[in-house]
Amino acid sequence: MQQNFVNALQHVLVHEGGYVDHPRDPGGATNKGVTLAVFQRFYGQDRTKDDLRGITDAQLREIYKTGYWDKCRCDDLPNGVDYVVFDQAVNSGPGRSAKWLQSAVGAMVDGGIGPQTLAATQGVAADQAIDRMCDARLAFLKNLSIWDTFGRGWQRRVDGVRAYGLQLASGAAAAPAAPAAPAAEDEAPQPSVDYDTVRRGSRGDWVERLQAALAQEGQTLQVDGIFGPGTEAALKAYQEAEGLTPDGIAGKKTYQALGLIA
């Protein structure tokens, strides 16, 4: 619902952490879940890591609302469902989040939320849709090769999202409220594995992983560890279909959507 965005963002940001500058990723600086590349896309290529470190609340709201909330039509979704779809989109990409919603409500699964998906959502109880989405999300995460290392933190996030989404759906948490901070050190946001940002001209293991993941998603390309024009075209097509910025560069958000990191 339209009035729910600010409250939903407060809860999502609990999981996104503060400023991090990944040592092996030239575009890896991230603050509160916003990468430097995304920040520059919104506010200019001349923006620096220091600018990102000082990102304002207004800038955060604009990026998250435009890039995730609006893209997933959350203003038009029921209470609770909007928050769950939003959190999924931030963590795994708008396209994958849309597919989990569509599967949960029996709509055509195409990764784009339109009138048919919105109509189908109205025909399913919000608590049922939330449970189905969270179950699908957990199944996706458990299939990642690094579940044994990071699964505890991911399980905690999904459990928390499910619980709060169900409260919103029932009206028990309808009033905006700031989320509680993690209660202990082992409940803090979990880091992901090391990764390399890759683009045209890159070579190596992360190019091969990217190519294999794109092939599993139905893109036609050779898995050879060499990032050429075919890989770039396949990546851009995937990014476009998943609601990501189709820039042909594979970094954190693309890897999350592909399930290579979480």
Task: Show the domain range for 106.
Answer: 2-187
Q: What was the pLDDT predicted at 29?
A: 83
Is there a domain that residue 105 lies in? yes
In the chain, the number of structural domains is: 2
Do 108 and 17 belong together in one domain?
yes
The helices-and-strands tally (H runs, E runs) of the chain is: 12, 3
29-38 tens-digit pLDDT:
889 988 888 8
Q: What was the pLDDT predicted at 88?
A: 95
Half-sphere exposure of 235 (CA within 13 A, CB side): 28
Is there a domain that residue 193 lies in? no
Residue 147 class from Cβ within 10 Å (0-12 exposed, 13-18 middle, 19+ buried)?
middle
Do 66 and 165 belong together in one domain?
yes
Q: What was the pLDDT predicted at 133?
A: 98
Helix 81-92, helix 147-170: angle, nearest 10: 160
Do 212 and 135 belong together in one domain?
no
Do 10 and 123 belong together in one domain?
yes
pTM for this predicted structure: 0.82
Is there a domain that residue 192 lies in? no
Q: What was the pLDDT predicted at 135?
A: 98
Do 151 and 226 belong together in one domain?
no
Q: What was the pLDDT predicted at 17?
A: 77
Ranges of the chain with pLDDT below 50:
174-191
Three-state secondary structure readout of 139-206: HHHHCCCCHHHHHHHHHHHHHHHHHHHHHHHHCCCCCCCCCCCCCCHHHCCCCCCCCCCECCCCECHH
Do 46 and 165 belong together in one domain?
yes
Do 110 and 216 belong together in one domain?
no
227-247 tens-digit pLDDT:
999 999 999 999 988 888 899
| CATH number (domain holding residue 222) | 1.10.101.10
Is there a domain that residue 70 lies in? yes
The token pair that represents 71 in the structure block: 């893209």
The token pair that represents 44 in the structure block: 């200019």
Q: What was the pLDDT predicted at 139?
A: 94
Is there a domain that residue 106 lies in? yes
Q: What was the pLDDT predicted at 71?
A: 94
